[in-house]
Amino acid sequence: MIADCPDLERFVRGEIDPSAFAHREHVRMAFEMLRRHDFPETVLHFSRALRVMATKAGKPQAFNQTITIAFLSLIAERMERSPAGDFAAFERDNSDVFEKRVLARWYRPERLASESARRTFLLPDPAA
């Protein structure tokens, strides 16, 4: 299933060093997981893996369900709109996804930073 992507296997098993997991790697793992699973499955497995990683780093409070699902949604939508053959093509065609602040188009910073956003998925701001 994910044997063709060792990094994804390691991510799912919680074996990735959190200090070596920059935003680009989050996007890459999301892309790879979305290529192999439908959206609800990806949300479940990706969220679980990120929670493990945050806990391993000693920062369980760093996990944010809203940010996780919003980024997964954005990546999935871009993949649907313009299927890329590989991650390099996806990265080339979707450079804005690699900017952490891209969600500011839809969310106010204080909404994303809220305790509610950490626990559950919040819809985008109505007037964002």
Q: Where does residue 17 rank: exposed (0-12), middle (13-18), buried (19+ CB within 10 A)?
A: exposed
For 17-59, how does the pLDDT look when each residue is reduced to its tens digit (9 = 90+)? 998 899 999 999 999 999 999 999 999 999 999 999 999 999 9
Q: What is the predicted pLDDT for the residue at 3?
A: 58
- What integer is the mean pLDDT of 85-106? 94
Instruction: Name the band, by pLDDT with cuts 50, 70 and 90, for residue 126.
Output: confident
Q: Which residue has the higher pLDDT, 85 or 115?
A: 115
C-alpha 88/C-alpha 81 separation (Å) is 16
